[in-house]
Amino acid sequence: MSSEEAKAEFTIEPFTEGDPGPHVKEAIHVAQQSGLNVEIGPFGTTVVGDQEKVFELVSDLVKTAIDNGAYRVSLQVTSI
């Protein structure tokens, strides 16, 4: 396992009025269960932690979002 850290910032579409849709809620739930540092913003979510764990989470998160109705997941991963 790598000791380097990574930051993943993601936005999930479609956007819904008012309350986030199930595609967003489920993906955020997966992120929160990962044990990584999760910061939820009004237009996107950021996850920071061990690089390998972030990479694993990205795969799970994208699959969960798509399985729950997302048609786009915009993602940026940065090594920190």
CATH number at residue 41: 3.30.70.930
pTM score of the predicted model: 0.89
45: domain range?
A: 5-79
Please report the pLDDT score of residue 43 as a whole number: 86
> What is the pLDDT, as a whole number, of residue 3?
75
Q: Give the chain's domain count.
A: 1
Strands 5-13 and 45-50, bridge-based pairing: antiparallel
Q: How far apart are the first and last CA of the chain?
A: 16
Sheet strand arrangement including 72-79: 37-40, 45-50, 5-13, 72-79
10-residue mean pLDDT series, the chain (80 residues): 86 91 96 97 94 97 98 97
Pair 73, 65: CB distance under 8 Å: yes
